[in-house]
Structure 1
Amino acid sequence: MNTTPVHSVVLAGGGTAGHVNPLLAVADELRSREPEASFLVLGTASGLEADLVPARGYRLREIPRVPLPRRPSTDLLRLPGRLTAAVRAAEAAIDEIDARAVVGFGGYVSTPAYLAARRRGVPVVIHEQNARPGLANRLGSRWAAAVGTTFPGTSLPDAVCVGLPLRSEIADLVAARAADPAGVRERAAAALGLDPHLPTVLVTGGSSGALNVNRAVAGAAVELLDAGLQVLHLTGRGKADEVRGVVAGLAGTHDVGRYQVLEYLAEMHQALAACDLVVARSGAGTVCELAALGLPAVYVPLPIGNGEQRLNASGVVEAGGGLLVDDADLTAGWVARQVPALVADGPRLAQMGAAAASVGVRDAAARVADLVADAVGAAGAPS
């Protein structure tokens, strides 16, 4: 651990949990090392950071969102004015706490933060969450003092793979499972109204849900229940009624109490503590949290976008810690054939969990904090 004092740090990132959670994890690590340090977080009024950052005890400075157009449009004409205003706001934040470093996690607010730091001569440290880097981090990495990535194959200059800084609930769960796995499972199951002694499958497509995942798993509800499984199915907001309807239709012949349907669960760490297998999209946060916890999974990458979700899961799948199934191939028939057989095969499931844990990173927040301390130390005292 690098104990060089950082004194004051501006952190930039927001909009999604993928940016905010790693930011808070690194801020917490830096604060634990140096309780008297000053921190200021750059974000927007509309992103998750508007609630999460103040709730964690950090000051949030709102700056204008600056989306970088990927193709010619009217937004491109507005870019210079928006960017200038945002850079000035970021400079003011740097000046306010005499920041010794700017730490960015990508997203709309990071570009102006990186440009402001460059103008002020303040070192930039970047963390890139995804296997394929975003536009802001590709730009900022050109002059960054250090770049940390979640995955080893991410293409950014002079980057080092540090893993994904874990949100506090997951970091705490990792430690608790290591100390008392049976007790953790029982307490989590009790909190969720689950039976801790039944093999449990967690299904999640993220906060917005995944329609095909929902339909495929619900379509196999008979086979899952007949196999003696317990299912906790998180459908995503606004997508629960269809799944509930399918499950309710089995009430006369099956114990549908073993198939719980929720739109969303704030205490996601409880669900992870209570389950044996996860069926999920392969966002970076999901992949890294499951690997850190040593949980086997069926990963179903989002079928649209730039293919980053497939890349996110590739490392843990190649290690044997999960299965990768194309969205089009995840049907009710596939779930009915594969999932009960997998959960019933205890040795295989245990091997998958161990393989996932072997590639999981549990100290990424400390690694990023070390990069920040190194950058501050290399820059020396402010003039």
Structure 2
Amino acid sequence: AQVVVGFGGYVSTPAYLAARRRGIPIVVHEQNARPGLANRLGARLTPFVGTTFASTRLAHARRVGMPLRPEIATLDRAARRAEALDHFGLEDQRTLLVTGGSLGAKRLNEAFAARVLELSAAGIQVLHVTGADKGFAVPATGSGARYVVIEYADAMELAYAAADLVVARSGANTVCELTALGLPAIYVPLPIGNGEQELNAADVVAAGGGLLVPDAELTPSWVTGSLVPLFRDITAVDRMAAAAASVGERGGDQLLAELVAAAYAARRPGR
């Protein structure tokens, strides 16, 4: 190995220590806002430390963002919107995307399933990605807006291209994809673990590009009482979109690659 790059899994610790012992350059990348033990150790062994979020506290940290799939990083939402709407069977109108990721989110699914008719009657078109084996039957909406349920999106970039506002969990990848694309969002952090999902959304929420709703407060009443008025306020949603884009980073892959190249260039002579 000429450079060791670690992302903080438990196997990173012995790799960092072995690289240090052999004089091999180390690069650390921390995807979450709250770093784990392995990366806290690794960051003390190298000046080449990249973080996803500006608020992450880690020795020698510089923000490089999250390396994203090219399909996301290069997405032109406006150019692919018509294709996206056709792909999901949606009308050409403003659209709300609800997603709990590939595994789904029980809280989101139940709250929105209970308000299908109300959202449709309010003229809010919804694309709801429920997660595998978590789909539900949509009641007839008559002349109201469409409510489309799918269990899995094999082309998530098209779901983003169709969306004007998103309701989602706040895993690091989700937050980074949405901000890179300038998509405003309601973030509902997973209420377990060490609270990292709430911290992941902190920067974009502070910038005004998203709202944070605790899991317990994401209820059917919240959907109709809070979400519907926000979605209808086009000016507010547009402001949120601009704020989200201001903290997003599409070039995380290139910036991380440059950090690796810099670590290699700075290696000790003879190594």
TM-score (norm 1): 0.67
Match in the other structure for 2:24? 122
How far the C-alpha of 1:256 sits from its partner, in A, is 8.1
* SS, match of residue 151 in structure 1: coil
Which amino acid counterpart does residue 221 of structure 1 have in structure 2?
V
Q: Verify: 1:330 aligned to 2:225, yes or no.
A: no
The separation in 1 between residues aligned to 2:180 and 2:265, in whole angstroms, is: 30
Per-residue CA deviation, residues 191-246 of structure 1 (Å, 9 max, x unaligned), is 22222x12111111112111111111111212210111221111112222xxx24x
Q: State the secondary structure of the residue aligned to 2:202.
A: helix
Shift in Å, 1:322: 0.9
Q: Which amino acid aligns with 1:370?
A: E
Moved more, 261-270 or 361-370: 361-370
Residue 284 of structure 1 corresponds to 172
Q: CA shift at 1:339, angstroms?
A: 2.1
Residues 225-278 of structure 1 show CA distances to partners (whole Å, capped at 9, x for unaligned) of 0111221111112222xxx24x2xx32x53588211122112111100111110
Which residue in 2 is equivalent to 1:184? 80
In 2: Cα distance, 1:194 partner to 1:136 partner: 45
**Aligned ranges for residues 146-165 of structure 1 at < 5 Å?**
146-165=48-67
The Cα shift of 1:380 comes to 4.7
Could you tell me how far apart the structure 2 residues matched to 1:320 and 1:156 are? 25
Larger RCO, structure (CA 8 Å, separation 6 or more): 2
- Assess if the C-alpha contact under 8 Å between 1:123 and 1:145 holds in 2: no
Give the letter aligned to residue 243 of structure 2.
Answer: A
- For the residues of structure 2 that align with 1:354 and 1:371, how far apart are their CA atoms? 28
Instruction: Give the Cα separation in 1 of the matches to 2:30 and 2:82.
Output: 35
| Corresponding residue for residue 108 of structure 2 | 213
Q: 1:357 aligns to what?
A: 245
How far did residue 154 of structure 1 move?
1.5
Matched residues in 1 for 2:150 and 2:143: separation?
17
Q: How does 1:131-146 map to 2 (within 5 A)?
A: 131-146=33-48
1:308 paired with 2:196, answer yes
Distance 1:340 1:101, change over 3 A: same
1:369 pairs, out of 226, 242, 257, with: 257
Unaligned runs of 5+ in 2: none
> Relative to structure 1, is the Cα distance of residues 285 and 325 closer, same or farther in structure 2, using a 3 angstrom cutoff?
same
C-alpha separation in 2, matches of 1:159 and 1:308: 18
Relative to its length, the structure with more helix (as a share) is 1
- Residue 137 (structure 2) pairs with residue 226 (structure 1): no
1:295 aligns with 2:183: yes
1:142 Cα deviation from its structure 2 partner: 2.3
- How far residue 114 of structure 1 moved from its aligned partner, in angstroms, is 2.0
Contact 2:185 2:209 in 1 (8 A): yes
Is 2:88–2:148's contact at 8 Å kept on the other side of the alignment?
no
Answer yes or no: is the 8 Å Cα contact 1:100–1:382 preserved in 2: no
CA 1:380–1:300 in structure 2 vs 1: closer, same or farther (change >3 Å)? same
Aligned partner of 1:235 among 104, 113, 130: 130
Structure 1 residues 127 and 321: alpha-carbon distance in aligned structure 2, compared to 1, 3 A threshold: same
1:110 CA drift (Å) = 2.5
Equivalent position amino acid for 1:232 in 2 = L
Moved more, 103-112 or 262-271: 103-112
Q: State the SS of the aligned residue for 1:335.
A: helix
Q: Is the 8 A contact 1:282 1:300 kept in 2?
A: yes
Structure 1 unaligned spans of 5+: 1-98
Following superposition, the deviation at residue 111 of structure 1 comes to 2.9
- SS of 1:371 mapped into structure 2: helix
Are positions 1:166 and 2:73 aligned together?
no
Provide the residue aligned with 1:55 in structure 2.
Answer: none
Larger radius of gyration: 1
Give the aligned residue type for 1:184: R
Look up the SS of the partner of 1:194 in the other structure.
coil
Once residues 205 and 350 of structure 1 are traced to their aligned partners in structure 2, the CA distance between those partners, rounded to angstroms, is 23
Once the two structures are aligned, what percentage of the paired residues are identical?
59
TM-score (norm 2): 0.94
Query: What is the RMSD computed on CA atoms of the aligned residues?
Result: 1.8
Residue of structure 2 in register with 1:347 after alignment: 235
Using the TM superposition, name which of 319-328 and 133-142 deviates more. 133-142
Whether contact under 8 Å (2:111, 2:219) holds in the other structure is: yes
8 Å CA contact 2:54–2:63 kept in 1: the answer is yes
2: distance between equivalents of 1:193 and 1:119? 57
Residue 345 of structure 1 deviates from its aligned partner by: 1.4
Equivalent residues of 1:207, 1:264 under 8 A apart: yes
DSSP 3-state at the match of 1:154: coil
Look up the SS of the partner of 2:178 in the other structure.
helix
- 1:156 deviates by 1.6
The answer to whether 1:268 aligns with 2:156 is: yes
Q: Does 1:201 align with 2:89?
A: no
What's the CA shift for 1:381? 5.0
